[in-house]
Structure 1
Amino acid sequence: MYQNHDFQQSVGAAEYEFRSAERLTIPLDATLRTETGEEFAVRLRDISSLGFMMECEDIVPIGSRVELLLAPLEPLAAEVRWGLAGWIGCRFHNELGWDKLFLKLIGRGAELA
Structure 2
Amino acid sequence: MNGGQDNSDRGPARSAPRDSLFLLTSLRTPEGAPLGKARIRNLSATGLMADCERAVPAGTSIILELRGIGEVKGVIAWARADKIGVAFDEDIDPQLARKPVAAGDRAGTPDYLRTQLRRR
TM-score, normalising length: structure 2: 0.68
Q: CA distance change for structure 1 residues 5 and 68 in 2, over 3 Å: closer, same or farther? A: farther
Higher helix share: 1
Residue 77 of structure 1 is matched in structure 2 by 73
Residue 6 of structure 1 is matched in structure 2 by 6
Residue 111 of structure 1 is matched in structure 2 by none
* Deviation per residue, 1:23-54 (Å, 9 max, x gap): 11111111111133122111111110110000
Is contact 1:31-1:70 (8 Å) kept?
no
Ranges of 4+ aligned residues in structure 1 off by more than 6 Å: none
Distance across 2 between alignment mates of 1:76 and 1:5: 33
Residue 55 of structure 1 is matched in structure 2 by 51
2:99 match: secondary structure: helix
Q: Which has the higher contact order (CA 8 A, sep 6+)?
A: 1
Equivalent position to 2:21, from 4, 13, 26: 26
* Deviation per residue, 1:51-103 (Å, 9 max, x gap): 0000002121110100121223221111001111210101011222xxx321x
Give RMSD over aligned pairs: 2.2
Q: CA distance change for structure 1 residues 107 and 43 in 2, over 3 Å: closer, same or farther? A: same
Q: CA deviation at 1:11?
A: 5.5
Equivalent position to 1:37, from 2, 24, 32: 32
1:81 match: secondary structure: strand
The AA in structure 1 aligned to 2:58 is I
Instruction: Give unmatched runs, 5+ long, in structure 1.
Output: 109-113
2:6 match: secondary structure: helix
1:6 match: secondary structure: coil
Equivalent position to 1:101, from 73, 87, 94: 94
Residue 87 of structure 1 is matched in structure 2 by 83
